[in-house]
Amino acid sequence: MESTFAMIKPDGVSGNYTRDIKKIISDSGFGIIEEVMVQLDEDTVKNFYAEHSSRSFFPRLVQYMTSGPVLIMVLDKANAVADWRVLIGPTDAETAKVTHPHSIRAMCGLNLQRNCVHGSDSPQSAVREIAFFFKKSSSG
């Protein structure tokens, strides 16, 4: 069993895709073991996406990710990290509509930025991201 970190981004929540996405999650054999709706603040987004801080799109990314509530989740399943990435499809939702029409981003994403969902890109990222959002009070 493996855990991954998943998020329904502000466009997914405000576009009322939460129920459909959660159905896909359970139909695909994932267990949802943590689930919280939160409004992210700028500092949290800047920390979460620190690897992109020097990119020109970063200010727009921070604005987008703070534009409304998000649903953060921990998903459990064998091979959860890779399987969730396959399910969400490519980063660019416009590409996803062409190359991965059955992916979640094809269903509810708009473009390279507004792509509806997030998934950890490696088991190491999953550990970091789950700790970032769900184990803030632990030492270290």
Assess 47 for contact with ligand ATP (CB under 6 A): no
Sole binder of ligand ATP in the list 28, 57, 63, 122 (CB under 6 A): 57
Residue 82 binds ligand ATP, judged by CB under 6 A: no
For the chain, give the DSSP string.
Answer: -EEEEEEE-HHHHHTT-HHHHHHHHHHTT-EEEEEEEE---HHHHHHHTGGGTTSTTHHHHHHHHTSS-EEEEEEEETTHHHHHHHHH--SSHHHHHHH-TTSHHHHH--SSS--SEEE-SSHHHHHHHHHHHH-TTS--
109: contact with ligand ATP by CB under 6 A: no
Work out how close the CB of 90 gets to ligand ATP at its nearest, in angstroms, rounded to a whole number.
7
Told to check if 118 binds ligand ATP by CB under 6 A, we report yes
Out of 52, 100, 102, 118, pick the active-site residue. Answer: 118
Nearer to ligand ATP, 49 or 134 (CB): 49
119 part of the interface to ligand ATP, by CB under 6 A = yes
Q: Which neighbouring-strand residues pair with 140?
A: none
Q: Which stretch binds ligand ATP (CB under 6 A): 14-22, 28-36, 94-102, 117-125?
A: 117-125
